[in-house]
Amino acid sequence: MVEMKFSQQMTYVWWLLIGICAAFVFVWQVTLWTYNRALSDLVTTGTERLAFYEATLREALSRYAYLPFVLSENIDIQIMLKSPFNVDLVNRYLEKLNSEAGSEALYVMGKVGDTVAASNWQSPLTYVGNNYGYRPYFTDTQDGKKGRYFAIGTTTGIPGYFYSHPVIQNGEFLGATVVKTDLARLQKDWRSGGESVFVSDRNGVLFLTSLSEWRYRTLAPLSDAQRAIILAGRQYGDKLLEPIGLKVGAQMGDGQRLVRYGDESYLMIFSLLEGTEWRIHHLSSLQSVRGQAQAVAVTGSVCILLILSLALYLRERKQKQQSRRQAREAEAIQKVNKRLKAEVAERTRTENALRETQDELIQAGKLAALGHMAAGIVHELNQPIAAIKTQVASGRLLLDRGEPESVKENLDAVSRMTEHMGSITKQLKSFAYKGQVKKETVILQESLDGALAITRPLLGKSSVELQISVPEDNLEIIAVSGRMKQVFINLIRNAIDAMESSLVKQLRIEISKNENEVHIEVCDTGPGISEQAQAEIFTPFFTTKEVGEGLGLGLSISYRIITDLKGTIRAYNHDSGTCFDIRLPIAKIEA
């Protein structure tokens, strides 16, 4: 028996060791896959960024490429190179053209490289009189070719990119036209991007870079021959051109290298700039790649150790924990059931209370609307009352004069005025009292007309331009009579309040339909609503008005009315204000 237990334990230990080894091998493979995947993503990102920076460099280099040719075709420049009697004319022309083009300098060189005219002819550091025949961009023009060259100016000490074009007349080389551009703005833009990008010439000298401390340093030590070529053209002045100490590692692919600078490793992606002997480089730190791989390795190792510890612990106390877990689960289930029952009962009571108070809230909203509209209604009634007083006084005078026919006309006018006042009070009466709860067929156009009859004084008082678009055919829905009228009133009042400080006050109400639903849009030209307000606009007692200006019930009541009708209502901002979009099912006519 003892030997059997010992054998079982040894078997368990062996299987445990095999599982641990397999788990660590799996973690290692996942870590390696994560590293390669992250490195591949970094290569993709670096390639895209390199293409972007290469495009910006090409754009900067091509911006002034046409100017040397244009200058070489200028007849005044050709005449000056033959007989310099019009030098002042050419100087002023170059100065004006350089100012308009935004280049660093424009100048014209004679047959042996003497500068004859320049845009900076009035500057103490003018190029006029200096010989730059040693520059490669000039020697290229002597061979009838265009010149392209980056160098630090020997006169001004300002680095720039030089474009040149030969001036040839009747097969005779007269000289060269040169444009110098400053690439400092390009380097500034690269630095603001926060990335490591630089350009090297054929000798490996970094002359354009987002890293200021790397400028005029080399990727590798220069040979004596390379230094001799650079010195002959005086390309970089008195710069030491020391190596930056970049250690090149494994090759990832064509134009992709792993490099190390200081204590940090980088992915370097580079490409040859077409039409030049330059290379543009982009550096991406491998810190994030290593971080992802390390995170996977650490997480996997910790998980393995946790699983091992858990397995040992569960094996030791499996039965005891199982019984405890079952007891806790049973107790937890009972508590959850009790809590759910209590929540269901509470929600049922709350829903019943909300349904019972819905009509009271609707009526409260109506009364609040009546109070807000009081000023407009009083103004609307005061006019016919004043007119009636005038007609009565006039009627008395006519009776005294014995003109009964005129008195009759006055009485007819008074009758018309009282009918007008009656129509106003009739709308108010139907709005103020609670409507019936029973649902019936309601014509939307009539609900809108009733709402406008009540709110029209407010529209006139606020100088709101009303635009209405409704179909000629009646649109019928199943609703509680009067409640759609209240929805229209709430939305119109809300729009009037929203446009209080607007210069243009336009209210557009549009009703349309399709096969299954009615579409209502109420749009104003107010300031719109914020994202936070859109999320809470239909919440009871939520309002953006000043204290005392509103209860925040109108839109909440409208929302409840529309949802009870199995419809939807939402608010959104448009180009010049806010729109409320309502969709309701059309009443079906049963055979």
Q: What is the pLDDT of residues 278-327, one digit of tens each?
A: 888 888 888 888 888 788 888 878 887 888 778 778 777 776 787 788 78
Contact between 484 and 442 under an 8 Å Cβ cutoff? The reply is: yes
pLDDT band at 591 (very low <50, low <70, confident <90, very high): very low
Question: Which of 521, 519, 524 is CA-nearest to residue 584?
Answer: 519
- Cα distances (angstroms) measured from residue 551 to each of 110, 528, 538: 87, 20, 12
162 has pLDDT over 70: yes
Token output for 465: 């331009």
Token output for 150: 């980056």
372 has pLDDT over 70: no
Token output for 199: 């350009």
Question: What number of other Cβ atoms are within 10 A of residue 354's Cβ?
Answer: 12
Rounded to whole angstroms, the Cα distance separating 589 from 572 reads 33
Q: What is the 3-state secondary structure (H, E, C) of 143-205?
A: CCCCEEEEEECCCCCCEEEEEEEEEEECCEEEEEEEEEECCHHHHHHHHHCCCEEEEECCCCE
Sign of CA dihedral 203, 208, 210, 214: positive
Ordered by where they begin, the domains of the chain are 67-182 (3.30.450.20), 433-585 (3.30.565.10)
106 has pLDDT over 90: yes
Q: Per residue in 209-219, is it b (16+ CB within 10 Å) or e — as a string?
A: bbbeebbbbbb
Rounded to whole angstroms, the Cα distance separating 580 from 567 reads 13
Strands (DSSP E) along 56-146, which ranges?
A: 105-109, 115-118
Rg of the chain (C-alpha set): 44
Contact between 77 and 90 under an 8 Å Cβ cutoff? The reply is: yes
pLDDT band at 590 (very low <50, low <70, confident <90, very high): very low
- Cα distances (angstroms) measured from residue 154 to each of 108, 237, 413: 16, 7, 102
Task: Specify the residue for token string 């049973």.
Answer: 330
Rounded to whole angstroms, the Cα distance separating 551 from 554 reads 8
Question: Which of 326, 322, 324, 345 is CA-nearest to residue 334?
Answer: 326
Higher pLDDT: 46 or 361? It is: 46
Task: Specify the residue for token string 């204290």.
Answer: 547
Rounded to whole angstroms, the Cα distance separating 274 from 271 reads 9
Q: What is the pLDDT of residues 194-228, one digit of tens each?
A: 888 888 888 888 878 888 888 888 888 888 888 88
Rounded to whole angstroms, the Cα distance separating 277 from 207 reads 13
Rounded to whole angstroms, the Cα distance separating 255 from 267 reads 10
Token output for 318: 């499996």
Rounded to whole angstroms, the Cα distance separating 207 from 224 reads 19
Residue-by-residue DSSP string for 511-531: EEE-SSEEEEEEE--S----H
The residues that bridge with 567 in the sheet, in sequence order, are: none
- The average confidence (pLDDT) of the chain is 81
For residue 465, what is the enclosing H or E element? strand 465-469
* Contacting residues for 470 by C-beta, under 8 A, at least 6 apart: 444, 445, 448, 509, 510, 511
Q: CB burial class (10 A; 0-12, 13-18, 19+) of residue 261? A: middle
pLDDT band at 582 (very low <50, low <70, confident <90, very high): very high
Q: Determine the average pLDDT of the residues in 239-257.
A: 82
pLDDT over 70, % of the chain = 85
The residues that bridge with 281 in the sheet, in sequence order, are: 198, 270
Q: Helix or strand or coil: residue 442?
A: strand
pLDDT score recorded for residue 547:
46
pLDDT band at 107 (very low <50, low <70, confident <90, very high): very high
Token output for 311: 């397995």
Which amino acid type is present at position 469? Answer: S
